[in-house]
Amino acid sequence: MGPLAAAQLLALISLTVALDNGLLKTPPMGWMAWERFRCDVDCKDDPKNCISEVLFRDIADRLAEDGWKELGYEYVIIDDCWMSMQRDEHGRLQPEPSRFPGGIAKLARYIHDRELKLGIYADMGTHTCMGFPGTTLDKIEIDAQTFASWGVDYLKFDGCSSNPVEQMLGYPLMSKALNATGRPIAYSCSWPVYVGGLPPNVNYSLLGDICHLWRNYNDIQDSWDSVQDIIEWYSNNQDYLQPAAGPGRWNDPDMLIIGNFGLSVDQARSQMALWAIMAAPLIMSNDLRNLGNSARTILQNKVAIAINQDPLGIQGRRLLTEKTHIEVYWRPLSRSASAIVFLSRRTDMPYLYRTSLAKLNYDAGNYEAYDVFNGLTVTGLNATTEFTFSINPSGVVMWYVYPEQQSKQTEKSHYQHEKASHHTVL
- Which residues participate in catalysis according to the annotation? 158, 219
Tell me the three state secondary structure of residue 182: coil
Three-state SS annotation for 39-97: CCCCCCCCCCCCCCHHHHHHHHHHHHHCCCHHHCCCEEECCCCCECCCCCCCCCCCECC
Give dist(CA 366, CA 359) in Å, integer: 14
Q: Is 366 exposed, middle or buried (0-12, 13-18, 19+ CB in 10 A)?
A: middle
Stated length of the chain: 426
Give dist(CA 223, CA 233) in Å, integer: 16
| Identity at 72, one-letter amino acid code | G
Q: How far is CA 239 from the centre of its chain?
A: 19
* Bridge partners, residue 155, by sequence: 120, 187
Give dist(CA 407, CA 405) in Å, integer: 6
Rg (CA), the chain: 22
367-379 burial, b for 16+ CB within 10 Å, e for fewer? bbbbbbbeeebbe
Q: Is 89 exposed, middle or buried (0-12, 13-18, 19+ CB in 10 A)?
A: exposed
**Which element (helix H / strand E) includes 293?**
helix 293-299
Of 208, 362, 206, 343, residue with least CA distance to 276? 343
Give dist(CA 24, CA 39) in Å, integer: 28
DSSP states along 136-171: -GGGHHHHHHHHHHHT--EEEEE-TT--HHHHHHHH
